Amino acid sequence: MKLCFATNNAHKAEEVAALLGPPLQIQTLTQIGCHVDIPETGDTLEANSLLKAQYVFEHYGVDCFADDTGLEVAALDGAPGVVSARYAGEHKNSQDNIDLLLGNLRHHTNRSAQFKAVITLILNGVVHQFEGIVRGQIIEKQRGSMGFGYDSVFVPDGYNTTFAEMTLDQKSTVSHRARAVEKLVVFLQNM
């Protein structure tokens, strides 16, 4: 079965393809000829995930899924949340986002946070959504060079390493995206 994953983020595509495995064949937006930066104008992760999946389905007529992910920090009232990728501005610079996050947490002792991923699947025109959450802590200084986004400052509960210090296989066992993708896989297997 072929499914388009509505992303041009190579890290995300690699991570999700590894989680899904055969017999699913994943195509990225580029592979279906979509070179548009699909607007994320929703005010929730669920809404943005749906917007991206609907755009692909309506404009390219292919079964697809999209995700939206956010880091929700308790001391910041859930920020950066839905604007995680654009926290420090529209230029979507991960280092600037991390610097702003750490600066905003400088005087907080509660550093609990959670990553939340929402996947929207549109299959034969029918919409399905799947959610994955992983709780953890924001550390004071970046560690690790693997991963992307906020991975270098997030330590999941029960671990001593950041997502950026984990191999892809290790991260795939605990990440928010892995948990949402697992629900997607179970759904597809039971069709």
User: pLDDT tens across 25-52, in order?
Assistant: 888 899 999 998 888 899 999 999 999 9
Under 8 Å between Cβ of 157 and 170: no
CATH assignment at residue 26: 3.90.950.10
Encode pLDDT of 8-19 as tens digits: 877 778 777 777
> What are the helix (H) ranges across the chain?
10-20, 45-60, 94-104, 168-174, 176-189
Rounded-to-integer distance, Cα 72 and Cα 90, Å: 19
CA gap 170, 177 in Å, rounded: 13
Q: Which of 1-5, 75-79, 153-157 has the lowest mean pLDDT?
A: 1-5
Q: In one letter, which amino acid is 9? A: N
**What number of residues does the chain have?**
191
Q: Is the pTM of this model over 0.75?
A: yes
What range does the domain containing 109 cover? 2-189
Do 136 and 156 touch, CB atoms closer than 8 A? Answer: yes
User: If pLDDT is split at 50, 70 and 90, which confidence band does 188 have?
Assistant: confident
Confidence tier at 154 by pLDDT (50, 70, 90) = very high
Q: Which residue of the set 37, 67, 68, 99 is catalytic?
A: 68
**Could you tell me where the DSSP H helices lie in 69-133?**
94-104
Coil, helix or strand at residue 176: helix
- pLDDT bucket at 92, cuts 50 / 70 / 90: confident
Please, what sign has the CA dihedral across residues 104, 110, 114, 115?
A: positive
* 68 in catalytic set: yes
Q: How many CA atoms lie within 13 A of 35 on its CB side?
A: 1
* Domain count within the chain: 1
| Residue 190, token pair as written in the block | 């039971």
Of residues 189 and 88, the one with the higher pLDDT is 88
